[in-house]
Amino acid sequence: MATDSWAQAVDEQEAAAESIGSLQIKDKPEENVSFAAGTTANATDSSSGAAKTEAEEGGKSTDDDDKEDKAAQSLLNKLIRNNLVNTTNQVEVLQKDPNSPLYSVKSFEELRLKPQLLQGVYGLGFNRPSKIQETALPMMLAEPPQNLIAQSQSGTGKTAAFVLAMLSHVDPNNKYPQCLCVSPTYELALQTGKVIEQMGKHYPEVQLVYAIRGNKLQRGMKLQEQIVIGTPGTMLDWCGKFKFIDPKKVKVFVLDEADVMIATQGHQDQSIRIQRMLPKNCQMLLFSATFEESVWNFAQRIVPDPNIIKLKREEETLDTIKQYYVLCNCKEEKFQALCNIYGAITIAQAMIFCHTRKTAGWLAGELSREGHQVALLSGEMQVEQRAAVIERFRGGKEKVLVTTNVCARGIDVEQVSVVINFDLPVDKDGNPDNETYLHRIGRTGRFGKRGLAINMVDSKMSMNILNRIQEHFNKKIEKLDTDDLDEIEKIAS
Ligand SMILES: Nc1ncnc2c1ncn2[C@@H]1O[C@H](COP(=O)(O)OP(=O)(O)OP(=O)(O)O)[C@@H](O)[C@H]1O
């Protein structure tokens, strides 16, 4: 019976994953056919593949999992996030012309947007520009247009900013593409397309089309939509080989997720080739969540004479986290300790990290047998399935999320107040992975919610890892005796 319920839970998760996968990703373009025009419906027909990069589309296989991973992480974060990531950090601005005044706005009204667009912005629930938008929007909307390279962490409002810039710059009376936006994957392009559709809801004269794999157009046709969003390979073909787009008429070129883009073979060259077809006065905008040297080199090739905006990431800290460790001898004992903790304190939602998929699967099964509602994130799941699992967890359908680090890397599930390291995070060489430890349990000072972290220690080696983590952060991790109910109760107070 217990095993049945676990099997049933997995079935349910998978079914939910499938339905959400098709709802959220595959059918996206059809949702708003009126805005997206007939061509996007074609795009849907060919969307049976899952999260594939263009390199794969062309038959080349990307050998490095990490590359796929970046795009998947970015998509997951978009799917599960429902609001802006706030930050108290100041933006750093480097202007092309340091003598020209630097404008920044505190309200959307100050931008003198078209009323239809202002309606769209408010319709999305945006009251005021985000930190990066305050400076980026006036720059992007200035006359003559200015080029921009902007870097800030995921969720700080970059997409909304360039979508607003594109919608502001198009002339709806001209029935040809005026704004091109390239994204690293099919799914990410659809997500951005969704923002364009939402923000342009009251501006139906502006039309959007998806330049994505399989969206087959008739030879010789000319696109009438003003905005084209897609992946670099297809966009390049549409501009060059098929001439569906006249690149000389393009006013705005956006390159989104540059850091993800350069991780995929071929995308860099394709993007540069598109850029070269565009007129000299075309506005070039490039966005990235990170800014390592390779991204910077690429950015400079794509965006001549740029203004540069950078927003530092909010530091995570362990200051508001109570940290404990539990001594055990084996995984069964660790599981028992976990049960004792659950028996003593009320845990609204917890995330449990395991080192391997196998342990994660085993633990999820055991917890489920104990009657817990468990979600399992496993490496073999498609990105849509992972998104569905996280979405269900976020919605409170499951109270425990068991995962390996690889699966959950880069995912922020803010509301989780209890994090359990069933296995301590270590790097490839078996040394403590302090960065991952901080990311798993740390909080940005701003949110500052109190949290609880419990580390399971099952060997001399893991005790050594724990000690080194303690030393690194200079924060004491207290011992917890999970056989003593009173003691456990105290940690929750
Ligand atoms: N000014 C604003 N006020 C309130 N919410 C906003 C504002 N701008 C954007 N948002 C919302 O914040 C979330 C993150 O915004 P957005 O997707 O534009 O960020 P991003 O930096 O592009 O992130 P990513 O790099 O993951 O694409 C979205 O849910 C978006 O609707």
Per-residue pLDDT tens digits for 15-36: 444 433 333 333 333 332 222 3
Whether 225 contacts 177, CB under 8 Å: yes
> Over the stretch 176-228, which tens digit does the pLDDT of each residue have?
999 999 999 998 999 999 999 999 999 999 999 999 988 999 999 999 999 99
Binding site membership of 130 for ligand 1 (Cβ less than 6 Å): yes
Q: State the pLDDT at residue 43.
A: 32
Task: Report which residue type is found at 83.
Answer: N
Nearest protein Cα to ligand 1, atom 31? 83
Count CB-CB contacts under 10 A for residue 227: 26
pLDDT per residue over 137-150, tens digit each? 999 999 888 999 99
The whole-model pTM stands at: 0.76
Q: Is residue 58 pLDDT above 70, yes or no?
A: no
Q: Is the CB of 83 under 6 A from ligand 1?
A: yes
**Ligand 1 pocket test, candidate residues 158, 162, 181, most atoms within 8 A of CB:** 158
272 lines ligand 1 (CB under 6 A): no
The pLDDT, as a whole number, for residue 415 is: 66
Centre of ligand 1 from the C-alpha of residue 81, in Å: 9
| pLDDT at site 412 | 67
Distance in Å, CA 159 to ligand 1 centroid: 6
Cα of 133 vs centre of ligand 1, distance in Å, is 10
Which range has the worst mean pLDDT, 58-62, 104-108, 280-284?
58-62
Res 250 pLDDT > 70: yes
Q: Give the number of the atom of ligand 1 that is nearest the alpha carbon of residue 195.
A: 31
| Residue 158 in contact with ligand 1 by CB distance below 6 A | yes
Nearest to 134 by CA among 100, 170, 158, 169: 158
| C-alpha of residue 126 to centroid of ligand 1, in Å | 9
User: At residue 37, does pLDDT exceed 60?
Assistant: no
Please state whether 109 falls in left (phi above 0), alpha (psi between -120 and 50) or beta.
Answer: alpha
How far apart are the CA of 205 and the centre of ligand 1, in A? 24
* Rounded percentage of the chain residues whose pLDDT exceeds 90: 57
Q: Is pLDDT above 60 for 448?
A: no
Instruction: Give residue 322 CA to ligand 1 midpoint distance, Å.
Output: 31
Q: Is the pLDDT score of 96 beyond 50?
A: yes
Please give the pLDDT value at position 9.
45
Which of 73, 78, 82, 84 to mutate to test ligand 1, by most ligand atoms within 8 A of the CB atom?
Answer: 84
Partnered with residue 420 across adjacent β-strands are: 352, 454
More confident residue, 63 or 406: 406
- Say yes or no: CB of residue 157 within 6 Å of ligand 1: yes
Does the beta carbon of 40 lie inside 6 Å of ligand 1? Answer: no
**Does 313 sit in the ligand 1 pocket, CB within 6 Å?**
no
Distance CA 354, CA 361 (A): 9
Q: How far does residue 83's CA lie from ligand 1's centre (Å)?
A: 7
At 424, which amino acid appears?
Answer: L
| Amino acid letter, residue 170 | V
155 lines ligand 1 (CB under 6 A): yes
pLDDT at residue 384, as a whole number: 81
Mean pLDDT of the chain: 83
Spatial contact of 478 and 453, defined as CB atoms under 8 Å apart: no
Does the pLDDT value for residue 48 go beyond 60? no
What are the tens digits of pLDDT across the range 261-275?
A: 998 889 999 999 999
* CB 151 less than 6 A from any atom of ligand 1: no
Please give the ipTM for the structure prediction. 0.97
Q: Best of 130, 151, 162 to mutate for ligand 1, by most ligand atoms within 8 A of CB?
A: 130
Nearest to 442 by CA among 403, 463, 465, 472: 472
- pLDDT score recorded for residue 68: 57
**Measured CA angle at 356 (ends 350, 358), to 5 deg:** 95
Q: 152: Cβ–Cβ under 8 A, 6 or more apart, which residues? A: 87, 91, 131, 132, 158, 289, 309, 310, 311, 313
Highest mean pLDDT of the ranges 11-15, 290-294, 322-326, 437-441: 322-326
Atom of ligand 1 nearest to the CA of 154: 25
Residue 240 scores a pLDDT above 80: yes
Q: Using a 6 Å cutoff on CB, does residue 81 contact ligand 1?
A: yes
Which has the minimum average pLDDT: 118-132, 138-152, 347-361, 377-391? 377-391
CA angle 361, 365, 370 (to 5 degrees): 150
The minimum-distance atom of ligand 1 relative to the CA of 108 is 1
Residues 159-180: tens digit of each pLDDT: 999 999 999 999 999 999 999 9
| Rounded-to-integer distance, Cα 5 and Cα 369, Å | 8
Calculate how far, in angstroms, residue 69's C-alpha sits from the geometric centre of ligand 1.
21
Q: 408 CA distance to ligand 1 centroid (A)? A: 21
pLDDT above 70: residue 255: yes
| pLDDT value of residue 394 | 83
pLDDT at 26 (0 to 100): 30
C-alpha span between 37 and 17 (Å, rounded): 28
Secondary structure of the chain in HEC code, one letter for each residue: CHHHHHHHHHHHHHHHHHHHHHHHHHCHHHHCHHHHHHHHHHHHHCCCCCCCEHHHHCCCCCCCHHHHHHHHHHHHHHHHCCCCCCCCCCEEEECCCCCCCCCCCCCCHHHCCCHHHHHHHHHCCCCCCCHHHHHHHHHHHCCCCCCEEEECCCCCCHHHHHHHHHHHHCCCCCCCCCEEEECCEHHHHHHHHHHHHHHCCCCCCCCEEEECCCCCCCCCCCCCCCEEEECHHHHHHHHCCCCCCCHHHCCEEEECCHHHHHHCCCHHHHHHHHHHHCCCCCEEEEEECCCCHHHHHHHHHHCCCCEEEEECCCCEECCCEEEEEEECCCHHHHHHHHHHHHHHCCCCCEEEEECCHHHHHHHHHHHHHCCCCEEEECCCCCHHHHHHHHHHHHCCCCCEEEEEHHHHCCCCCCCCCEEEECCCCECCCCCECHHHHHHHHCEECCCCCCEEEEEEECCHHHHHHHHHHHHHHCCCCEECCCCCHHHHHHHCC
From ligand 1's centre to the CA of 130, what distance in Å?
A: 8
Confidence at residue 89, expressed as pLDDT on a 0 to 100 scale: 79
Question: Which carries the bigger pLDDT value, residue 386 or residue 210?
Answer: 210
Asked whether the CA dihedral 171, 199, 112, 254 is positive or negative, the reply is negative
Residue nearest to atom 9 of ligand 1 (CA): 157
Q: State mean pLDDT over 375-399.
A: 86
Question: Taking 80 as the threshold, does the pLDDT of residue 443 lie above it?
Answer: no
